[in-house]
Chains A and B, each alone.
Chain A
Amino acid sequence: MGFWSRFFRDKLAVTGLIMVAIFFILSIGAGLIAPYDPNLIDVNNILESPSIAHLFGTDELGRDVFTRMLYGAGISLKVGFVAVGIAVLIGVVLGAVSGYYGGWVDILIMRLVDIMLCFPSFFLILAVIAFLEPSIFNIMAVIGLTSWMGITRLVRAEFLTLKERDYVLAEKTIGAGSLRIIFIHILPNALAPVLVAATLGIASAVLTESALSFLGIGVQPPTPSWGNILTQGKSVLGVAWWLSFFPGMAILLTVLGYNLLGEGIRDAIDPRLRG
């Protein structure tokens, strides 16, 4: 049985894929779907509860929460994708070098991984973001720079076994350079676990971004993000539950989607690991 047929037999994995796809489409189509302007202030409709006109209600400036969440979806996902992209890039390069060359390079890189793993990453992220201005770019960069360690370990482990294969020896015999062997021949065979880690990584990056925005050091208003809409909701929790309920639910469903998808891909790649 191939990868796809295994994947599509897994109900949870397919659910995850559908959830991820829905949020993806919503975020791309935000401009078309959204009924209002995300920053349109309407003083006559402050803190309106959900209705046909305002599906998820309005906030304390009378802005449509559904519209802001649609735009926020794009921002949360962008942060997730770019942050994970950075982490994958660093993780793959360091892991490949570490596993392929071994020796002191390996010791040095692995030590760095150990050191970085000791930091409560949220402390580190907060510290850096607090000093740099909390722009979207900085948030993506910092989340990426503090989450590459797991991928480095995975790639290194793959390289340790793959470099002993015959095809690598064959390449060496015909005089291929190390870089060529690493990136063209070994790496494609080591990417499966990276794909899984990246999918799960998006889930955790989205969570981190929302937590940062919640603490007021993430994406800054008026740019909408699920986390900062939720923060607005915190102060009016008693009177406007919708302001914190819907963004929280959106974060939960998105993160859940990526987690289910990631685990599903893992099980489909290697059925022996299936639970």
Chain B
Amino acid sequence: MLKYLAKRFLLLLPTFIGITIVCFLVIHLAPGEPTALQTELNPNITPQAIGQLRTHYGLDKPLTLQYALWMKNLIKLDFGNSISSDERPVWEKIKERMPITIYINIAAMVIIFLVAIPLGLISAVRRGSAVDRSITVFVFIGFSIPGFWLALICMDLLGVRLGWLPISGIHSPGYEHLSFIGNIWDLSRHLTLPVIISAFGSLAGLSRYMRSSMLEIIRQDYILTARAKGLSERTVIYKHALRNALLPVITILGLSIPGLIGGSVIFESIFSIPGLGKLFYDAIMMRDYNMIMGSLTIGAVLTLLGNMIADITYSIADPRIRVG
């Protein structure tokens, strides 16, 4: 087990370096400089002033040197300062915004897991039935529906017309005066729509996957053996088949992380949630180089960590992986 973990960690390093190189290249090869926002709009700017700004942000050094400097600071989690008006360190801003995005995504993953597994299971066990067919149609609509559109409809219907749920932000006005329980209740009401809607897209895919994984397992010899020795259908399905069908689902859940984090840009903008996604969107609009590079890197690193946790969980659940 230890050996497997060590190997897994070692593989992490080149991937991590690759990620930083891609981030760096993407942003630096693109035309348009961070200083443009400050200079283009100002008719009185002199070439000297532009030069000074470029020196100030280190843009006059060769790319490789810029990368080396950036990398050196990255190790210290120093992504530089935001170019936006508050000029605060990028990492400080990310640190502030990250928890809410992580909470929403974890909550979304719990919902995905709790809903998708039973759906896929029922669909597989009652294959070809009316239930299976309706689940299949639901699943297809689920992964075809544009999330932002669903978010708009839910906002309009549940938030504006019926007034059941708040539609923006994470706190009601005056939340400071609420009790602890009241605060939690308030927060949950605000996060209900964002969590459910971000779960919706991946939910469909996972239940489809669960269904085929289950169908695959039911065909295996050991299931035939279990049935042949007279075990009840219940035991065969829930004890023998389900456990094995769940294993690959762990990996798929891990693979859904980048989609969830990417989706947070859309949902956080729609629901005005002050998370990583909104921060990133605002940085894009401002062409805030450091902020974009920081968020892009952190987003990729979160994915990397998520996948690693999935891999390790898998190897604990299934000894064949770490031995083989």
Contact = CB atoms under 8 A, between A and B. Distances in A.
Interface of A: 12, 111-112, 114-124, 126-128, 130-132, 203, 207, 210-211, 214-215, 217, 230, 233-234, 237-238, 241, 244, 248, 251-252, 255-256, 259-260, 263, 273, 275
Contacts of A260: 140
A170 to B, nearest CB: 34
B interface SS class: helix
Interface of B: 14-15, 18-19, 22, 26-27, 30-32, 127, 136-137, 140-141, 143-149, 152-153, 155-156, 160, 211-212, 215, 255, 257-259, 261-263, 265-266, 269, 280-281, 284-285, 287, 292, 295-296, 299-300, 303-304, 307
A203 B205 CA distance: 14
Contacts of B261: 120, 123
A256 B255 CA distance: 22
Contact of A251 (B149, B263, B287): B149
Contacts, number: 138
Given A123-B299, A131-B32, A211-B266, A117 B258 contact: yes
Nearest to B156: A237
Nearest to B292: A127
B149 A115 contact: no
Interface centre among A203, A256, A263 (most CB of B within 10 A): A256
Contacts of B32: 131-132
Contacts of B257: 120
B152 A111 contact: no
A255 B142 CA distance: 11
A123 B295 contact: yes
Contacts of A117: 255, 258
Contacts of A241: 156
Given A120-B258, A214-B148, A238 B31 contact: no
Given A12-B136, A259-B143, A116 B296 contact: no
B300 A118 contact: yes
Contacts of B303: 118-120
A132 B30 contact: yes
Nearest to A132: B30
B296 A123 contact: yes
Task: List the 4 closest A-B pairs by CB distance, nearest first.
Answer: A122-B262, A131-B30, A120-B262, A248-B149
A263 B136 CA distance: 12
Given A115-B15, A132-B32, A207-B146, 10 more contacts: A117-B255, A119-B22, A120-B258, A132-B30, A211-B147, A215-B281, A251-B149, A255-B146, A275-B136, A275-B212
Contacts of A123: 261-262, 265, 280, 295-296, 299-300
B160 A238 contact: yes
Contacts of A248: 146, 149, 152-153
B148 A126 contact: no
Contact of B19 (A118, A211, A251): A118
Contacts of B287: 130-131
B144 A252 contact: yes
Contacts of A214: 146, 148, 266
Given A211-B266, A215-B266, A252 B15 contact: no
Central interface residue in A12, A119, A211, by most chain B CB within 10 Å: A119
A119 B148 contact: no
Contacts of B18: 111-112, 114-115
A120 B259 contact: yes
B285 to A, nearest CB: 7
A187 B120 CA distance: 34
Given A118-B258, A118-B307, A126-B280, A275 B211 contact: yes
Given A115-B15, A210-B146, A124 B140 contact: no
| Most chain B beta-carbon neighbours within 10 Å: one of A215, A237, A259, A275 | A275
